[in-house]
Amino acid sequence: MRKIIFIFCFVSCFINNVSAQNFDVSDLVVGGKIGASASKFTSVKCDPMFGAFGTAYAEIYIKKGFAMDIELSMIHKGARNIYYPSSRFDENKVSLGPYEYRLDFLTTSYLAKYYITNNIGLYGGVNASIMFNAKAENNNHSVNIKDQLHRGEIGAAIGVEYVFKNKYTIDARYNFGINKLAKTRLAKDILGNTHVHNISVTFGYKFLVF
C-alpha cells in the first residue's frame, strides 16, 4: 500500500496542465470509477485472484477540503491455487487441488475523505457487501458454494485519490473484510478463519451536480 501511495505522489508531480479542485461547502459531486482488483484469502496458502472493479458514487463537501462519499460497487474477489490435504476427509495423504474461488459482491461504502492538497485526497470508511455469486473451480469443473459461505461481509477501507483537471481521478484502495468467510463446518475445515483482503486501482470521472 505504501508503494502505491508513493507511485501516486510521484505521478502527480509529472502530470501537466493540472487544475486544482474548486468545490465549495455543500457542493454535490457524482462520478464513476472502473479498474482492477487483486484479492487473497488470509488463512490459507494461495495466489491472488485478479478481477474487475466498478463503482458509482456521490460526494458531498462538508467543508473546504473535506467530503463524505457513498458508493455502490461491483467487485470480483477470490483466490487461486488453493490446495488442501485429502487426509482431512479420508485416509489418503495426497493434497487436492488446485482450486480457484471466484466470488462476486455488490458493495455499499461509506467514506470520509480529506484533501491534504488540492489534488490528493486520503480517505477511510466502512462497507457492507452482499455476495451474489460464489464458485469453486478445479480442472474446469465448477461447484456453487454460495450456501457454504457467509453471504454478507462487513469491511473497512483506506485509500488515496489523485484528482486532475478537476474531474478525472486515479484511485488506489485497500479493503479488508472484518467477518470470516466460511459458514459451514465443511467450509471452515477447508478455509479456516479466512478473511478476504483486496487492493484495487481505478480510473474515474466526476462532475458537479449543484
Taking only the tens of pLDDT, the chain with its 210 residues reads 554 444 444 444 443 334 445 677 778 999 999 999 999 999 888 999 999 999 999 999 998 889 999 999 999 999 998 887 654 544 555 557 788 999 999 999 999 999 999 899 999 999 999 999 999 998 888 999 999 999 999 999 999 999 998 899 999 999 999 999 999 998 898 888 999 999 999 999 999 898
Cell of 120: 490528493
Q: Can you give the C-alpha Rg of the chain in angstroms?
A: 20
Q: Give CA separation, 85 vs 96, 155, 163, 191, in Å.
A: 6, 30, 48, 12
- What pLDDT, on a 0 to 100 scale, did the predictor assign at position 79? 94
pTM assigned to the model: 0.80
**Dihedrals φ, ψ of 182, to 5°?**
-75, 140
Distance CA 98, CA 199 (A): 23
Whole-number pLDDT of residue 146: 93
Determine the pLDDT at residue 4. Answer: 45
What pLDDT does residue 11 have? 44
Which three three-digit cell numbers place residue 188?
471452515
Residues sharing a CB contact under 8 Å with residue 16, sequence separation 6 or more, in sequence order: none
The predicted pLDDT at position 19 comes to 41
**What stretch of H or E contains 89?**
none
The Cα-based distances of 159 to 95, 122, 202, 206 in angstroms read 38, 6, 11, 17
